[in-house]
Structure 1
Amino acid sequence: MTVIAQNLVWGVRRKTIVNDVSLDVAEGETLGLIGPNGSGKSSLLRLLSGLKAPQSGRVEILGQDIAGMSRKVMARQVAFVQQNATTDTIVSVRDVVRLGRTPHRSALAGWTAADEAAVSTALGPVDMADLRAQAWQTLSGGERQRVHIARALAQSPRVMFLDEPTNHLDIHHQIEILRMVRRLDLTSIIALHDLNLAAMFCDRIVVLQAGTVAACGTPAEVLTQTLLRKVFRVEAEVSFGPEPGQPHIRFSGV
């Protein structure tokens, strides 16, 4: 397994936000995290990626307990793409992606041919190579998300965490970004709020409810009428199209 979490607990003051969560993710797998607002998806992502330390429990990535790994070593293995990242600084697309090379360079090291190659390679899968000189402020929301994924790719990670990367994007860009993530040769853990997108692009899904794991399995196993009623408190029809094992959810009254 690439990522293993055991009995993670984390909270703020007296409120427990992530409560005894355990999961594992195989190499090359795309795991989706879904759940109602406030269910703990973003907090769990930050615990799994080492951005937060659990109050109890442990996380292993590539066989190592991340509690004993330095930030620099973690950044060479793990990339995190947050939702709606922005900056007021006047920078180009290339400048943003160059930041992904920081974990691989010492403080006094100059920019190398290997660094430049990594940036160019990262721009390819996100289809932003032709816009490498364009100013960040002129990009659309979908283009900015693709650049942030390119910056993550420039880190040369083996695991990528994405926190609602399609939030506030139109449906075309939502599908475009998730299809691109699926094509990458990486292990990916993605927090999503759109259940049909989770069904389309995730190998397995973990459903969170009030900080605990309510269900875990393939989309077909997890996205049932009973679970949608219990966890999301909605009535829906679940049907299956031409893609084997891929459920489609139609909410009642829609």
Structure 2
Amino acid sequence: MSVVATDLEWGVRRRVVLSGVSLSVAPGETLGLIGPNGSGKSSLLRLLAGLKRPASGRVQIHGQDISRVPRRMLARQVAFVQQSAATDTNVSVRDVVRLGRTPHRSALGGWTNADEDIVASALERVNMTGHANQPWQTLSGGERQRVHIARALAQAPRIMFLDEPTNHLDIHHQIEILRMVRALDLTSIIALHDMNLATMFCDRIAVMKDGRLVMLGTPREVVTAQLLRDVFRVEAEVSDDPRPHIRFTGAPGA
């Protein structure tokens, strides 16, 4: 499914958080959202997923304005994976993933074999089948992110939004999570803070600064020493082999 945003504006009280943001994401594409802290990445991701309503502008998914799509129907098409989610409830991994079936079940509908098959498939796709009965609290950070993705997959979405899914993970688990997301047959939009990871796993990169979209293109088009200087205020060397790789050398003027 495609995602198209047109002239999005959003703010909190009198503070403008996003202004004039327009972009499109093709079916099956992986788009990375990058930018400094406070640039509007997470806010844009939530607008695109329908978790927030823009002050003006619109978001279309598969040609439909999402403001006119019932919430339950939208949740059957779109899944959102947060940076992290904690719970003190004593639940198993399987129970967490089962929550992903909520948009597909009626208030009076019971749990079905089809639901259970979808949950089992989601756990298998993230390589967590062997942990299905394990308590949630005992999982590592990387394992929890896998379970978050499995819960999203249990929704059977066509589009997945991920808000810094590699945050606080070691580099091994960062690469593991993004490689897994990349292999899914879905349209994916991922907010990331690591530029090198974005160049490795994203088809295109959208660069945010001060609530505006300042660049959108392939990693080769976007990642330049000039952009890193202007947006992130760092000096870096960019090699191209075959995707850009960044070696940070310092701050401007250092």
TM-score for both structures, normalised by structure 1: 0.97
- After superposition, where does 1:67-216 map in structure 2 within 5 Å? 67-216=67-216
Aligned residue-pair number: 251
SS in 2 for 1:100: helix
Structure 2 counterpart of 1:103, which letter?
P
Provide runs of 4+ in structure 1 moved above 2 Å: none
Q: Which runs of 5+ in 1 are unaligned?
A: none
The answer as to 2:245 corresponding to 1:248 is yes
The 2-side partners of 1:86 and 1:177 are apart by: 18
TM superposition shift of 1:6: 0.1
In 2, the alpha carbon distance for the partners of 1:93 and 1:216 equals 38
Structure 2 stretches of 5 or more lacking a match?
Answer: none
Find the aligned partners of 2:86 and 2:65 in 1 and give their Cα distance.
31
Give the match for residue 16 of structure 1: 16
1:38-81: CA deviation from partner (whole Å, max 9, x where unpaired): 00000000000000000000000111100001110010000000
Q: Distance in 2 between matches of 1:209 and 1:36?
A: 7
Instruction: Return the alpha-carbon distance in structure 2 between the equivalents of residues 145 and 89 of structure 1.
Output: 17
For 2:240 and 2:67, locate their aligned partners in 1 and report how far apart those are by CA, in whole Å: 42
User: Residue type matched to 1:117 in 2?
Assistant: D
- Which residue is 2:48 aligned to? 48
Give 1:169's aligned amino acid: L
CA drift at 1:166? 0.2
For 1:47 and 1:166, the matched residues in 2 are separated by 21
- Identity rate, percent: 73
Letter in 2 for 1:236: A
Counterpart for residue 226 of structure 1: 226
Deviations 1:147-178 (A, max 9, x none): 00000000000000000000000000000000
Tell me how far apart the structure 2 counterparts of residues 92 and 3 of structure 1 sit (CA, whole Å). Answer: 34
| Amino acid corresponding to residue 163 of structure 1 in structure 2 | D
| Cα-Cα RMSD | 1.0
Q: How far, CA to CA, are the matches of 1:113 and 1:61 in structure 2?
A: 30
**Length-normalised TM-score, structure 2:** 0.97
Structure 1, residues 190-219: CA drift from partner, whole Å, max 9, x if none? 000000000000000000000101100000
Listed one character per residue, the Cα deviations across residues 91-145 of structure 1 (whole Å, up to 9, x for unaligned) are 0000000000000000111100110011011111211011100000000000000
Q: How far apart are the structure 1 equivalents of 2:85 and 2:70?
A: 24
